[in-house]
Structure 1
Amino acid sequence: MQSEIYNRIQDHPDFRELVLKRKSFALKLSLVVLVMYFSFILLIAFAPDVLATPVASNSVVTWGIPLGIFIIITSFLLTGIYVKRANTEFDEENQRIIDECLHGR
C-alpha cells in the first residue's frame, strides 16, 4: 500500500515539476556561492595586492576583511532565502500533491 502511494506521488506531474523547480533554485544559489568563494580565492592567488590595500589611508583594515565578511554574510542570507522558500512554497506544494495522491483527487 505504501509503495503504491509513493509511486503515485513520484508519477504525479506536479511533483516532477516541483522537483525540477527545487533543484533549479538550489543550483542557482549554489552557483552564486561558488562563484563568490572561487573569485575570492582567485583574487588571493593572482592579485593579493588588491586585498592588502587599506580601506582608507591610515587604516589597518584592508579590503580583504570586508570582502571576506561580505561573502560569509551573503552565504548565510542565500541559505536563509532557500530555507524560507523551501518551508513555504515547496513544502506547501509538496503537501498538496501528497494530499491529492492520498485522497485520490
Structure 2
Amino acid sequence: MNASVDPRVERIASNPLYQRLRKMRNRLGWTLTVLMLLAYYGYIGLIAFDKAFLATPIAAGKITTVGIPIALGLMVFTILITGFYVRRANKEFDQLTQQIVEETR
C-alpha cells in the first residue's frame, strides 16, 4: 500500500533550515547524553570500585564524607545541563522552527 505523503511534510523535510535544526538538535542531544552517562556511570564506578574514597571524611571530626558533595555535584550538574538544553531549545531551536513553519506555509 502506497501512502501519500502530505506535500507540506515533504517541503519541511527538504528545507535546509530543517536539516540544520535536526543536525544541531541531534548533536547537542547526543553530547549532553554522553556527558550525563559519563557523570553517572563515573559515580556508580566510584561506588563499585572505590568505596573507601567515597567514605573518606571531608575533614577530621566531620561526619560528612567525600561522597556526599560528589553526589550533590552530580545533581547540580544534571540541573545545569537540563537548563542549558532548555535555554538553547527556547532560544535557537524555537526560532528555527518558527522560520521553517513560516517558509513552508
Alignment match, 2:31 = 28
Q: Quick check: 1:61 aligned with 2:64?
A: yes
Give, as a single letter, the amino acid of the residue that structure 1 aligns with 2:71. G
Q: Which runs of 5 or more residues in structure 1 are unaligned?
A: none
Shift of 1:97: 1.2
Match of 2:92 in 1: 89
Which consecutive residues of structure 2, in runs of 5 or more, have no partner in the other structure?
none
Structure 1 residue 12 and structure 2 residue 15: aligned?
yes
> Which of the numbers 42, 45, 48 marks the counterpart of 1:39?
42
TM-score by length of 2: 0.92
Cα shift readout 1:23-56 (whole Å, capped 9, x = no counterpart): 1001111111110000000111111111000011
One-letter amino acid of the structure 1 residue matched with residue 56 of structure 2? T
Report how far residue 20 of structure 1 moved.
0.9
Structure 1's consecutive aligned runs of 4 or more residues displaced over 4 angstroms after TM superposition are none
TM (norm. structure 1) is: 0.92
Aligned-residue offset at 1:74:
0.6
Residue 88 of structure 1, CA deviation: 1.2
Amino acid at match of 2:63: V
Aligned Cα root-mean-square deviation (Å): 1.1
Identity of aligned residues (%): 36
Structure 2 Cα separation of the partners of residues 98 and 11 of structure 1 = 13
